[in-house]
Amino acid sequence: MLVKTKGSAIVGIDAVTITIEVNVSMGQGYCIVGLPDNAVKESLDRTESAIKSNGFHMPRTKLVINLSPADLKKSGAAFDLPIAIGILAASEQITQPSLIEKYVCMGELGLDGNLYPIKGILAMAMQAKEEGFAAMIVPKQNAAEALMVEGIPIFAFSSLQEVVHFLNNPYDEKQNKLQQDHTSINQNMQTETSPNFADIKGQSAAKRALEIASAGGHNLIMIGPPGAGKTLLSRSIVSILPPLNKNEALETSKIYSVSGKIPLDKQLISQRPFRQPHHTLSAIAMIGGGGHPQPGEISLAHNGVLFLDELPEFNKSVIEVLRQPMEAGTVSIARAKMTVNFPARFMLLAAMNPCPCGYYNHPQKPCHCSVTQIQKYLHKISGPLLDRIDLHIEVTPVPYSELIKTENAENSIEIAKRVELARAIQIERFQNEQGIYTNAQMNEALLKKWGLLSPAAEKLLELAMEKFQFSARAYDRIRKLGRTIADLEGNTTIKEEHISEAIQYRNLDRSTWGQFKN
């Protein structure tokens, strides 16, 4: 008897529907075809034990399992459940096999028949809804994640025996109660604590730069001596970033689901990601890849922040791979048999010392590095990468008089309100533009429309271009930055003072920076 069940395979961060064909006929032997990897091939052994442990019998005749489409690589243990269901239906142990094709079922089976959670359930549920399946059957631990997708019923079970009972009695009211409510799941969102701006002494210029970067999604680099507060300032940015909207939350949660990084006690990711990889990571870990391509750090930072502390300590090849994703917002991973695209629309936040000893330009401590050493250290960060960073700021040590002040600085809540208002202006501005949410993401056509300068601002920018020899990319980024500063003040026109402030944030572009010691 031939039976077909439905499952899903993950390609990149998207799911592809897989048809599992199971045929029980005269003969001997088991085989599984359709480009399975070792984990899928081993499924027959796990499935046989699970079937027997739950009181069913394994066919002792010819058993052929085909995973279609056959040219797509199938990997992982998630196909255990649809294969087991197909075997039981083909051997007539499931009484209503015609219902099976209406459901997508995925899950890993233990030898005792218990169901274990799998990766990528969110993407699978989205695909099942898009293709119009009646429902999805998942392990109980994955139920909350699957229920992020509204519009498709989710049935969650703990064992193979429960799944078979449901398929034999699909209209049992008790079984229908296993379907959970979307509303209650979505209300339980991820929360995370971060440093508050009010607790950071001094550093008003750096805080202002972080506010502008957060408002427009701009890249930022901080340069200063050790202990000046670069890392603390960077971590505090989470407290002023606006929450993810629903579409962004689904995009981000989908990436984390495929990577297996959504905790079982969490559901929809509502807070923007903040990724801080160590400087020893490889280029593949940064951009993604592997035999079965997985998202890298830049994709895990999608819609959030990628913080690279001690930037010159990273391998130069790792840093330079950021160039193309910073421009395109996606990264393409090419392999011999497939090419996958991962989203990578992140805000780069970097911190570095000004020289090997760390005290170049320090107001009190002397620098012991030569000009050649300073130049060599700074040249670890290439010009093309710096050109893609909108804000360059120097962070100076906080004086003792500031450290002992008892009154708190402005609270993160107040700054976050201004950031959110500026983001709201941008969302309305780009509401008809696909995939564009912030000023930093504007293309040339949008910049031409929304980046118009007042006559005085245009004259000032012209003088700055001639004096500091800014590149054409820097010219565009200064205009984008000016647009964000104007949005923070609620102005529709980019004025001279907005461009003046934006130009001040291009320190590392100036030809004289770092060439001479104090």
CB 224 within 8 A of CB 396: yes
- Indicate whether 373 pLDDT > 80: yes
Q: What's the confidence (pLDDT) of residue 434?
A: 82
The stretch 415-435 carries a mean pLDDT of 91
Which backbone phi and psi does 190 adopt, to 5 degrees? -70, 140
Q: What is the DSSP letter of 110?
A: P
Q: What's the confidence (pLDDT) of residue 477?
A: 92
- Indicate whether 431 pLDDT > 50: yes
- Indicate whether 178 pLDDT > 50: no
| pLDDT band at 265; cut points 50, 70, 90 | low
How long, in residues, is the chain?
Answer: 518
| pLDDT band at 410; cut points 50, 70, 90 | confident
The pTM of the full predicted model, rounded to 2 decimals, is 0.86
Is beta strand 115-116 parallel, antiparallel or unpaired with respect to 330-334?
unpaired
The residue that leads in pLDDT, 351 or 374, is 351
- Indicate whether 134 pLDDT > 80: yes
Q: What's the confidence (pLDDT) of residue 250?
A: 87
Question: 471-516, pLDDT tens digit by residue?
Answer: 898 999 999 999 999 999 999 899 999 999 999 998 776 544 544 4
The share of the chain scoring above pLDDT 70, in percent, equals 93
Report the DSSP beta bridge partners of residue 139.
157
Q: What's the confidence (pLDDT) of residue 89?
A: 93
Helix 455-468 / helix 496-504 crossing angle, nearest 10 deg? 20
Mean pLDDT of the chain: 87
Lowest mean pLDDT among 200-214, 254-268, 388-402: 254-268
The residue that leads in pLDDT, 189 or 222, is 222
How far apart, in whole angstroms, are the C-alpha atoms of residue 311 and residue 350? 6
- Indicate whether 187 pLDDT > 70: no
- Indicate whether 316 pLDDT > 70: yes
Question: 80-92, pLDDT tens digit by residue?
Answer: 999 999 999 999 9
Q: What's the confidence (pLDDT) of residue 512?
A: 46
C-alpha to C-alpha distances, 444 to 429, 441, 447, nearest whole angstrom: 15, 10, 5
- Indicate whether 185 pLDDT > 80: no
- Indicate whether 240 pLDDT > 80: yes
The residue that leads in pLDDT, 170 or 220, is 220
- Indicate whether 12 pLDDT > 90: no
Question: 445-459, pLDDT tens digit by residue?
Answer: 999 999 889 999 999
| pLDDT band at 261; cut points 50, 70, 90 | confident
Most confident of 130-139, 170-179, 225-234: 130-139
Q: What is the dihedral of CA 399, 404, 406, 409, to 10 degrees?
A: 20
Q: What's the confidence (pLDDT) of residue 435?
A: 79
- Indicate whether 180 pLDDT > 50: no
Question: 360-371, pLDDT tens digit by residue?
Answer: 888 888 888 888
Helix 472-488 / helix 204-216 crossing angle, nearest 10 deg? 100
The stretch 264-280 carries a mean pLDDT of 83
- Nearest 5°: the CA angle 102, 108, 111 is 120
* Neighbouring residues of 154: CB distance < 8 A, sequence distance ≥ 6: 125, 135, 136, 138, 143, 146, 147, 179, 180
Q: What's the confidence (pLDDT) of residue 147?
A: 87
Helix 412-429 / helix 472-488 crossing angle, nearest 10 deg? 110
Q: Identity (one letter) of the amino acid at 353?
A: N
- Give residue for tokens 């670890």: 380
Q: What's the confidence (pLDDT) of residue 172?
A: 63
Of residues 296, 391, 297, 405, the one with CA closest to residue 350: 391
| pLDDT band at 383; cut points 50, 70, 90 | confident
The stretch 56-79 carries a mean pLDDT of 91
**DSSP codes of every residue in 344-402:** ---EEEEEE-SSSSS-TT-SSSPP---HHHHHHHHTTS-HHHHHT-SEEEE-PPPPHHH
- Indicate whether 433 pLDDT > 90: no
Of residues 505, 486, 197, 225, the one with CA closest to residue 355: 225
The stretch 101-127 carries a mean pLDDT of 94
Q: What's the confidence (pLDDT) of residue 126?
A: 93
Phi-psi bin for 395: left (phi > 0), alpha (psi -120 to 50), beta? Answer: beta
Q: What's the confidence (pLDDT) of residue 382?
A: 87
Here the tokens at position 181 are 């409510």
Q: What's the confidence (pLDDT) of residue 188?
A: 40
Helix 43-53 / helix 80-90 crossing angle, nearest 10 deg? 60
